[in-house]
Chains A and B, each alone.
Chain A
């Protein structure tokens, strides 16, 4: 039986039938597999609280120092890329990083659901990131924020065309942020699904043969390597999202 590689991204509304009290409520209170993944991610993030608060020893444990170093790296990135006056944005930077990282990694756990493979989720993140940065830019720079759409040292004849291009590129930041994350996640999971299907079809031919055992383990090693690569991509995508967010944040603080 062959399953489609994209079948794993399907959302099942009312997966657990928790809120289905009557025929009226069943259409309005959805508890899908996506909501379940979000709840698991919340448990993951609350684990941080356990690491930070429940250390019974005099010295803080490894997790505490690890988290502290992650937070300090984020702070130093914020200060070096935007400036010291942008320190107040540390909360949103760390939230974006851990939110995307945890959801990406949860998708790689067997029987997990990859939330960031849903375009609406990544679109929401991109839209609110860019919308928030625009509001921040208007708050900080006022009318000077519009200088972003007027390139310097350009002939006056070219200026209207280039301004239109700048405005389009500013709007497409939302799309680029969201589609990068979405496409990476969908491609990675689809690739893993296809390779795993090939492996299972080899496995189902005849396992008694020693030759087939060798044939079975070589693709298994390949899938293991790709799984490690996907773990790297999960981290890298969160990092890329945050770095691009910081580059765009720079425009909200400094006007050229």
Chain B
């Protein structure tokens, strides 16, 4: 059915769009800040002006115990 085929095509493209950008949001504002220093994170946010405009409220996400835990261990054990 040609009409339904168009909807399947649209559904695939739209679903890919939604999930890809949700992945991008997760990586940019959740996983990278968790794994890197907050200085790098702020630098990253400042460079992407588009994202800075829309997700400015999420800056506080960078404060997380895991990041400090790793840094603390690395500093003490000189890994």
Contacts from A to B (Cβ < 8 Å):
11, 13, 27-28, 30, 32, 34-35, 38, 41-42, 45-46, 48-49, 52-53, 55, 58-60, 64, 67-68, 71, 87-88, 90-92, 94-95, 98-99, 118, 120-121, 124-125, 128
Choose one: B8, B31, B66; the contact of A94 (CB below 8 Å): B31
A11 to B10, CA, bound (A): 13
Expressed in whole angstroms, the Cα–Cα distance for A147 and B9 within the complex equals 36
Chain A residue nearest to B45 in the complex (CB): A88
CB distance from A52 to the nearest CB of B (A): 5
Q: Within the assembled complex, what's the spacing in Å between the Cα atoms of A155 and B40?
A: 46
Chain A residues, Cβ within 8 Å of B11: 13, 30, 32, 34-35
Q: Pick the contact of A59: B9, B13, B28, B73 (CB < 8 A).
A: B73
A141 to B75, CA, bound (A): 40
Residues of B within 8 A of A32 (CB): 8, 11-12
A120-B24 in contact (CB<8A): no
**Would you call B12 and A49 a contact (CB within 8 A)?**
no
Residues of B near any A CB (own CB < 8 A): 3-4, 7-9, 11-13, 15-17, 19-20, 22-24, 26-28, 30-32, 34-36, 40, 43-44, 47-48, 64, 66, 69-70, 73
CA distance A4 to B43 in the complex (A): 52
Contact A11 B12 (CB under 8 A): yes
| CB pair A88 B27 closer than 8 Å | no
Tell me if A28 and B17 are in contact (CB < 8 A): no
Asked if B7 contacts A27 (CB within 8 A), the reply is yes
CB nearest neighbor in B for A124 = B16
B20–A125 touching, CB < 8 Å: yes
CB distance from B55 to the nearest CB of A (A): 12
C-alpha spacing A53/B63, complex, angstroms: 12
A95 & B24 in contact (Cβ 8 Å cutoff): yes
Asked if A55 and B66 make an inter-chain contact with CB atoms under 8 angstroms apart, the answer reads yes
- Can you name the residue of chain B whose Cβ is closest to the Cβ of A68? B35
Residues of A within 8 A of B3 (CB): 27
B8 CB → nearest A CB, Å: 6
Pairwise interchain contact B35-A42, C-beta atoms closer than 8 A? no
Q: Is the Cβ of A53 less than 8 Å from the Cβ of B64? A: yes
CB distance from A17 to the nearest CB of B (A): 15
Closest to B28 in A: A91
Interchain CB contact under 8 A, A41 and B19: yes
Determine if B19 and A42 form an interchain contact, defined as CB atoms under 8 angstroms apart.
Answer: yes
The winner among B7, B16, B66 for most chain A CB atoms within 10 A is B16
- Point out the residues of chain A lying under 8 angstroms from B66, CB to CB: 52-53, 55, 60, 64
